[in-house]
Chain A
Amino acid sequence: DAKTTQPPSMDCAEGRAANLPCNHSTISGNEYVYWYRQIHSQGPQYIIHGLKNNETNEMASLIITEDRKSSTLILPHATLRDTAVYYCIVRVAIAAGNKLTFGGGTRVLVKP
């Protein structure tokens, strides 16, 4: 499975953009990059995913480098409710299903 590397923690000021980096240098051509977040004591929440192109939705933007070895999740205007652990995951297709191998994630603290 392709491994991901993320900084263990980062702080962000409320109202500012939060840029969360992720390295996935061993990613294969058909593997997607997924981002989830987990607010304390809740289930992981899907944020966004991508293969090659940059993606944007109502929650965030995902920037994937041209060589696909790294990506950045951008929360455009962080709020206190965005405080969570953010997981960058390379999704692996397996027999009849797909596997999310969670790494350590980045613990993001949004401060007033």
Chain B
Amino acid sequence: DAMVIQNPRYQVTQFGKPVTLSCSQTLNHNVMYWYQQKSSQAPKLLFHYYDKDFNNEADTPDNFQSRRPNTSFCFLDIRSPGLGDAAMYLCATSRDGLGGVEETQYFGPGTRLLVL
């Protein structure tokens, strides 16, 4: 089945040690999103790619970066994780997102990051 895949489901890293989370999709969607969801909170958009164009949310810390080497893959890099970065990281895709067009986002299962 076509889907959004996130591996691993759980990731443990050390304080200050760079970590990369990965997302892949078999939907051939143009847009890929990264959300952060802290415990007992709603998901919050960090940034998204429309094809190769990167779009950062204004309040996303510089510590968070992203790469999209091709249509299928997108990575979330946390350069120096702090304890406050422990969260569930959710990847989502949508086929397109041109203004006014209804486009549904489909989410992966998430990667839960633990910072020690």
Chain A residues in the interface with B (C-beta under 8 A)? 30, 32, 34, 36, 41-46, 49, 51, 87, 91, 93-105
Residues of B within 8 A of A32 (CB): 102
In the assembled complex, the Cα of A43 lies from the Cα of B23 at a distance in Å of 13
Residues of A within 8 A of B104 (CB): 34, 46, 49
Classify chain B's interface size. Answer: 20 to 34
Is B69 located at the chain interface by the 8 A CB criterion?
no
Is B97 a contact of A96 with CB atoms below 8 Å?
A: yes
Q: Which listed residue (B43, B55, B97) contacts A102, Cβ 8 A?
A: B43
Provide the B62-106 mask, 1 if CB < 8 A to any CB of A, else 0: 000000000000000000000000001010101001111111111
Residues of A within 8 A of B6 (CB): 43
Q: What's the minimum C-beta distance from B92 to chain A, rounded to whole angstroms?
A: 8
In the assembled complex, the Cα of A42 lies from the Cα of B111 at a distance in Å of 9
Nearest-CB residue, chain B, relative to A103: B42
Q: What's the minimum C-beta distance from A56 to chain B, rounded to whole angstroms?
A: 16
In the assembled complex, the Cα of A41 lies from the Cα of B111 at a distance in Å of 10
In the assembled complex, the Cα of A98 lies from the Cα of B107 at a distance in Å of 14
3 closest cross-chain pairs (CB), A and B: A96-B50, A102-B42, A43-B107
In the assembled complex, the Cα of A25 lies from the Cα of B38 at a distance in Å of 28
Q: Which listed residue (A41, A51, A98) contacts B105, Cβ 8 A?
A: A98
Nearest-CB residue, chain B, relative to A32: B102
Residues of A within 8 A of B55 (CB): 94-97
Nearest-CB residue, chain A, relative to B102: A32
Q: Which listed residue (B43, B53, B105, B108) contacts A96, Cβ 8 A?
A: B53
In the assembled complex, the Cα of A100 lies from the Cα of B106 at a distance in Å of 11
Q: List 16 A-B contacts (CB under 8 A).
A: A34-B104, A36-B107, A42-B110, A43-B92, A43-B108, A93-B101, A94-B99, A95-B50, A96-B50, A96-B98, A97-B48, A97-B97, A100-B43, A100-B105, A102-B42, A104-B42
